[in-house]
Chain A
Amino acid sequence: MNPARKRKLRLAVALGAAVSLAAVLVYTSFSASSEAAKPSELREGRSYDLTGKVVKDSIARRGDELRFEIRDRDGTASVPVVYTGVVPDPFREGREVIVSGELTRGTFVAERDSLVTKCPSKFTEDKSS
């Protein structure tokens, strides 16, 4: 093979690898992702990553089960949540949380151990709240 053709071949192989990586990325990420939603956007019958703020005075714990309400970050729509599993340290009323699960009969039933708190290494408290 002459050098010029060899270089072209190498380029083609490299481009092919790049394109296939890109295709894998796009395909897998869209099929593996779950939709993020605010309480006001929830619909029954599919799973979401619910994000929002924990409503003040809504936290109640009964044994393993934790019940609280999440409201839109800037709004009033809220949804009750039933959760089991590990509660992260920074979980507090008024904090932003992310929890995955499904809406069933008006209550968001969360997957076990899926609760994530926005950790307050935002160090300074939100001045607006």
Chain B
Amino acid sequence: MLPGVGSACLTVGLLTALYAAGASAYGAVTGRRVWVTSGRRAIYCLAALCVAAFAILESAFLRSDFSYALVAEGSSTDTPAFYKVTAVWATQDGSLLLWATLLSLFASAVLFLTRRTLRDIAPWATAVLACVAGFFLLLMVGWENPFDTLAVVPQEGAGLNPLLRHPAMMIHPPMLYTGYVGFSIPFAFAIGALVARRPGADWIRATRRFALIAWTFLGTGILLGALWSYSELGWGGYWAWDPVENASLMPWLVGTAFLHSMMVQEKRGMLKVWNVSLICATFTLALLGTFLVRSGILDSIHAFGASTIGVQMLVFIACVIALSAGLILARLPDLRSEARLDSLLSREAFFLLNNLVLVALCLVVLWGTFFPLISEALTGTEETVGPPWFNRIVTPLALVLVLLTGIGPVLAWRRVTPGRLVRILAVPGAVTLSVLVAMLAFTEAANSGTSLVMFAFVAFVLAVVAQEFVRGASARRVMTSESWPRALVRLAGRNRRRYGGYLVHAGIAVLILGVAASSAFIEQRDVRLSPGERIRIDDYEVTYRQATARLGGDGGGTGAPISLGAVLDVRRGDQAFTLHPSRNYYSTSDPSKGAISRFFEGEATSEVDVRWGLRRDLWLAVRPDLVSLEEPIARADRQFGESPGQVQAFVIRTLAELYRDDPPPAAFRAIVSPLVAWIWIGGAIAVLGALVAVWPSPEARLRRVRSLYAARVGRELTRA
């Protein structure tokens, strides 16, 4: 019965979305407020329906109800509970439902907040949001219904893909989706502003917080994906310029550009065409990200298999591009700038420059990602560009960007005199120079010219941010004689957007420091070792002490039946510790495998062990060689193929112990990666900064309440 209710929720949801779009548009055209209100309430209703459908699906996963096709494919009774919850969005249909649910919740929130303002824009924005939600519901109702049931209910499900059994991987998709979905809010209001011919800064003010939240979630999602890649995938890197990674990076880059340029429109009434184009591009790229992951159009390591909804996504993306471009062109006369650029030495000029660099970065990534398709169209042969190409092109642009990050915030709006600029930048410049000299004198940074320059620029950005905090706080102290920490906190609290932004800059600079250092100075060894043998890497001496074998329950709680690994003793100077990398083996249900061998020949995942450190990480992965077990496993297949489960479990235990007691040489990968921890620390600082910027300040809330109250008093006075 419940699957029927779920399907019905989706169908009714689709109709509700269509009604919301129609009613709001009709209300906006005719000016009848009741229709607008009704359209807005339909969105709340849609949110309730989506949440109900999502709850039904979640409960099916938790109960392991294998009559749902989706549950049978993506979960199993022996999947740990945490991963049962998250397995919903590991499936394609489930992630579509998550998209629609998040979108309807975000839309309800923004429409509730703007219910008394933006009377011209909000109805059209409602219609746009309803159309987007309607499209995703249509995909589910028409092609990918998450509530499809199986005629024959299987006893056991296929289980969640072992590679995805990592906490970061389970939080990563909802983060990305929240980011993608979040950008649809400013997009919808931008379209609404264009249709209603209100291209001022109102739509930006109403949605800038949503844009910032979306940006934060998207960035966090990208970082968590990188962390997963580093600590689960067994190759030791965090970024590979894979199409799916690029797909999430592109909307983030353009979204970053939008966050900066919208301030120019707010403060100076400029760049209106640019802003609506940017937000349309961001939303299109977010859709493209979803499409790339789903369609299998590009050969990617992570892409889902060729899916049934690629064409529909493509048609929808084409519609979005055509409609938004057409609308912008039709409204060009309304989008004229209210002011001109006074000087190249001004904040708006530098924001524009940073925008150009960010968009250029996005174009580079776009070109490289789609190069197989481009080259096939141009030359007839499908060619690919690898990470070296991306690194070569992106690095110089990133250098410029970091430099602009330092200079931009200290410039005033309109114009700065060169003399004043020199005064502001004197201290950070001196800091940068001394850092440069210190690095040349005391470190090996000079071996890589690019990273040397990057380190200097990062120092510059950090110095600028520190100087801004100190200047602001000391100004406060002159007025209020507060203590330093109190002055700093108060300063940031009073001007959250500005100082939150500075924190984000500092965080990104630290993150880039980690990227530059770890990619330029990484050291990697691939070796085969027998117990007792040792290698040297960097200053570490790594000794393979013994093999390990564990059955049922590896340390990470992933529910792997067999886990073979190694114990390694590490010495570095007078510091000594042990690392325990291992490899989890999951059974396969492939009927052509023997009863015992199927436990060894299913999926296997590396459980790497990392010694995290602020200065450097030591990263170890092991790949046991099962060659000595092949013969005993084949024999066990013949002898115990028909035996009861307990006997088979005993046989498997014996086999694992056989490996532990007499292991053949195992393959190890050891990596020493300097400063890589600062990528995650920098990311955390940036997220903290974004939270500071987005958190509503008490003063602003007070102002808003007062103005609403004044408006009501005014209304009632005129009525009286």
Contact = CB atoms under 8 A, between A and B. Distances in A.
Interface string A13-26: 01001100100110
B367 interface: yes
B385 A61 contact: no
Contact of B301 (A34, A117, A123): A117
Contact of A29 (B161, B233, B389, B604): B389
B163 A36 contact: no
Contacts of A33: 371, 375, 383-385, 389
Interface string B579-596: 000000000000000000
A83 B296 CA distance: 26
B235 interface: yes
Contact of B234 (A89, A116, A121): A89
Instruction: Specify which of B305, B371, B605 lies most central, judged by the most chain A CB atoms within 10 Å of its CB.
Output: B305
Given A118-B300, A121-B163, A36 B372 contact: yes
A121 B232 CA distance: 13
Contacts of B91: 123-124
A86 B526 contact: yes
B338 interface: no
B606 interface: yes
Contacts of A36: 299, 372, 381-384
B302 A119 contact: yes
A25 to B, nearest CB: 5
Given A33-B385, A89-B604, A123 B623 contact: no
Interface residues of B, number: 51
A28 B305 contact: no
A15 to B, nearest CB: 11
A126 interface: yes
Contacts of A24: 393
A123 B603 CA distance: 12
A25 B367 contact: yes
A128 B465 CA distance: 56
Contacts of A32: 385-386, 388-389, 392
Interface string B671-692: 0000000000000000000000
Instruction: Specify which of A32, A113, A116 lies most central, judged by the most chain B CB atoms within 10 Å of its CB.
Output: A32
- Range of interface residues on A (Cβ < 8 Å): 35 or more
Instruction: Specify which of A33, A34, A61, A113 lies most central, judged by the most chain B CB atoms within 10 Å of its CB.
Output: A33
A49 B384 contact: yes
A98 interface: yes
Nearest to B366: A25
A14 B355 CA distance: 12
Contacts of B605: 89
Instruction: Specify which of A17, A28, A36, A89 lies most central, judged by the most chain B CB atoms within 10 Å of its CB.
Output: A89
Interface of B: 73-74, 90-92, 158, 161, 163-164, 233-235, 296, 299-306, 340, 356, 360, 363-364, 367-368, 371-372, 375, 381-386, 388-389, 392-393, 526, 528, 603-606, 623, 627, 667, 669
Nearest 5 pairs between A and B by C-beta?
A33-B383, A122-B305, A122-B304, A32-B389, A36-B382
Given A85-B526, A124-B304, 8 more contacts: A29-B367, A29-B368, A33-B371, A33-B375, A33-B383, A61-B627, A117-B301, A121-B302
